[in-house]
Amino acid sequence: MIAVIQRVSEASVAIEGEVRGQIGVGFLVLLGITHEDTNEDVEWLGRKIVGMRIFGDEEGKMNLDLKTVGGNILLISQFTLHANTKKGNRPSFIDAAKPDIAIPLYQKMTAFLNGEMGSPIQCGEFGADMKVSLLNDGPVTIIIDSKNRI
């Protein structure tokens, strides 16, 4: 499971012209799920996301986490994070989980993050053609792969 975390001042997702999720300060999280991912990956990665201390403290050092700054999460499923680009110019998505595996894990991640945050996060819609807007703060972008824990 791969997460691309972008620290944002604001972010939103629209589907067919309608805003479906919107946050102020927080994280835009793009989540890629592979067929090898499990509930353990959900929990490990979910804890890492919520615990990321990448907001500035009073000295300007990245030392504060999402809850401390009163931020929220906008979670977007993105199978293209598992693109294989080794051969040719057309990416292969064979490593991305099929919907029967990915949807339940995406839903578990949503529920896990809701629980960790203590309030509902915002989400896109799995498999939809989404238009994501963000104001990246920093910019700060962190990539975490649950398969690279050590």
Give CA–CA dist 120/59, Å, rounded: 30
- Amino acid occupying residue 3: A
Q: Which of 27, 55, 79, 112 is catalytic?
A: 79
Between β-strands 26-32 and 2-15, what pairing exists: parallel, antiparallel or unpaired? antiparallel
- Known active-site residue 122: no
- Known active-site residue 79: yes
- Known active-site residue 78: yes
Between β-strands 72-77 and 2-15, what pairing exists: parallel, antiparallel or unpaired? unpaired
How is 6-75 classified by DSSP, letter by letter? EEEEEEEEEETTEEEEEESSEEEEEEE-BTT--HHHHHHHHHHHHH---EE-TTS-EEE-TTTTT-EEEE
Q: Which of 78, 110, 112, 122 is catalytic?
A: 78
Active centre residues (catalytic): 78-80
